[in-house]
Structure 1
Amino acid sequence: MRIVCISDTHGMHRQIQVPEGDLLIHAGDSLARGTLDDLEDLDDWLGSLPHRHKILIAGNHDWCFQDEPEEARGLLKHACYLQDGGVEIEGLRFWGSPWTPVFFNWAFNLERGDAIAERWSMIPEKIDVLITHGPPAGILDIVPDGKGDLSVGCEDLAVAVENRQPRLHIFGHIHESYGQKQQGNSLFVNASTCTGSFKPLNPPVVLDL
């Protein structure tokens, strides 16, 4: 299966050249202001793409999925939306979740520790592809600041991933750490489309699984 990975498009999806593939995965922050109107435009764009399958999770900017969940899910016609849930496609098991550790006052934020660990405990033991909005601690999670690099990923997610060892873990959220890293049995992909300056310049990541 050819999987095309994007994330953090922030409403600029129509500026992206998306390669063909069997499955398109969007790892959250797809919307600009997080409104239902934004989502309607995104869904129209998704419907124009040739991929047989599409999966979408929410991110911390995607307010409508948190504040108007029924309306948001009803508008999404051209992708499978996962929120602490899974789907099997062509024999591969996928699980998606939008949560990230608290950062100011964004959507789908939970405190580090027990609150967010409870969400990660829902991830099945046997999973091929894990999709979260944010990274696990220590893997493609670096934000540069004036005093050095900061690792801002989720420690409890790192523990959950280590215990389950999915073949592929796709995320975004930390624009500055776009890229791939193999660690153990898992390939980690930060698929952030936008750069640290919020320009949609990072190309989609294409993988064969």
Structure 2
Amino acid sequence: MTLLTTLGLRRKNNWEPPTLLDSLLISPLHFIVTIVYSILLFLRGRPFKPPRDKPAIRVVCISDTHDKTNVNVPPGDLLIHAGDLTNAGTAADIQAQLDWLASFPHQHKVLVCGNHDSYFDPSARLPEDRGKTLDFKGINYLVRDAVTLDFKGGRRLKIYGAPDIPACGGSEMAFQYDRASPPWANTVPIDTDILVTHTPPASQKNHLDLGLGCPGLLKEVWRVRPKLHVFGHVHWGHGRQTVHFDDCQRAYETLVAKPPRGLIRDFFPHSGWVDALWVLVYGVHGVVWKWLMVGPGGNTSSLMVNAAQMYGNTGRLGNPVEVVDM
């Protein structure tokens, strides 16, 4: 461990958020443009609003509880858990989490597993758990499939869930795939309202993933454009982010997906400068259009939610539960 790491000026590993010094050393251009992009998103407002003539559907999002149950889960219509219910992934541990989820009064509950939930993947299941079964108690467990749920006011939501995740551990980890061969292309139904995955999309700290997400999943999200995408896995990435699927977002993603050039080389002209300029131009255009049209977002906008409850690598829960009204 270096002195800068000991002093807290550099992060210990890639699973922690970069410090200010990290960001500047990696790419001052990426750092500045990310701040500008965040401001532009804030000025454009919410990606969508619930319909005025029908009751809103309150979606409560959690993930990465890792055997713990000391979560203040607020009331709502739909409860989503985006995986990593447990640490060891045994049938007994998973059943305890299922029992806990089933105790809540939400009308519907949806679950995908995470890489730590070994039992769900036959290739990762512990020998002592083979032959054991689970009682889902009415919870909709999704593994590369969809469910359509009915809510008050005649409203319906189609939810697609998949547990697949870029390889990040040994054979005891569930549903891993080679990062070079993502399985997402044309797998999510085009009429999906809510997408639930354990892995975040993208890479290079793009969408609440600290550079640990999947670019292949991001391409699929661009194709489908669900109103809400719920995921977890990267604890320090917890939060929410609006995505508008427009030229501003495309320019931003193009920039941050490029290999960082470092503190010195970033100040010499390169193609990233052009991408940064387009982020500003398209972003300002989007803000002006939003205010002229009187209302945030549009029908092509979405919300990404990293619902991880585990507070970083502390081993304790501490992140707030994410609640979305649709």
Normalization by structure 2: what TM-score? 0.58
List runs of 5+ in structure 2 lacking aligned partners: 1-56, 151-155, 245-300
Aligned counterparts of 2:133 and 2:142: Cα–Cα separation in 1:
10
User: Which residue in the other structure is 1:7 paired with?
Assistant: 63
User: Which residue in the other structure is 1:79 paired with?
Assistant: 139
Aligned counterparts of 1:37 and 1:70: Cα–Cα separation in 2:
12
User: Which residue in the other structure is 1:51 paired with?
Assistant: 106
Query: 1:122 pairs with 187, 204, 220, which one?
Result: 187
Q: Is the counterpart of residue 103 in structure 1 residue 168 in structure 2?
A: yes
Aligned counterparts of 2:228 and 2:306: Cα–Cα separation in 1:
11
User: Which residue in the other structure is 2:199 paired with?
Assistant: 134
The Cα of 1:47 is off from its aligned counterpart by: 2.2
Question: The residue matched to 1:15 in structure 2 has which SS?
Answer: coil
Distance 1:73 1:123, change over 3 A: farther
Q: Which has the higher helix share?
A: 2
Deviates further, 2-11 or 61-70: 61-70
Deviation sequence 1:148-188 (CA, Å, 0-9, x none): xxx11101001000111100000000001100000111100
User: Which residue in the other structure is 2:26 paired with?
Assistant: none
Aligned counterparts of 1:199 and 1:25: Cα–Cα separation in 2:
20
Question: The residue matched to 2:121 in structure 1 has which SS?
Answer: helix
Give the aligned CA root-mean-square deviation in angstroms: 1.7
1:129/1:170 contact within 8 Å kept? yes
Q: Counterpart of 1:57 in structure 2: which amino acid?
A: V
Q: How does 1:13-92 map to 2 (within 5 A)?
A: 14-67=69-122, 74-90=134-150, 91-92=156-157
Q: Counterpart of 1:99 in structure 2: which amino acid?
A: D
User: Which residue in the other structure is 1:193 paired with?
Assistant: 309
Deviation sequence 1:12-31 (CA, Å, 0-9, x none): 0x211110111100000011
| Poorly superposed stretches of 4+, deviation over 4 Å | 68-73
The Cα of 1:56 is off from its aligned counterpart by: 0.6
Q: Which has the higher strand share?
A: 1
List runs of 5+ in structure 1 lacking aligned partners: 143-150
1:4/1:206 contact within 8 Å kept? yes
Q: How does 1:118-197 map to 2 (within 5 A)?
A: 119-137=184-202, 138-142=206-210, 151-184=211-244, 185-197=301-313
1:84/1:95 contact within 8 Å kept? yes
Distance 1:129 1:56, change over 3 A: same
Question: The residue matched to 1:39 in structure 2 has which SS?
Answer: helix
Question: The residue matched to 2:73 in structure 1 has which SS?
Answer: coil
Aligned counterparts of 1:80 and 1:72: Cα–Cα separation in 2:
19
Normalization by structure 1: what TM-score? 0.89
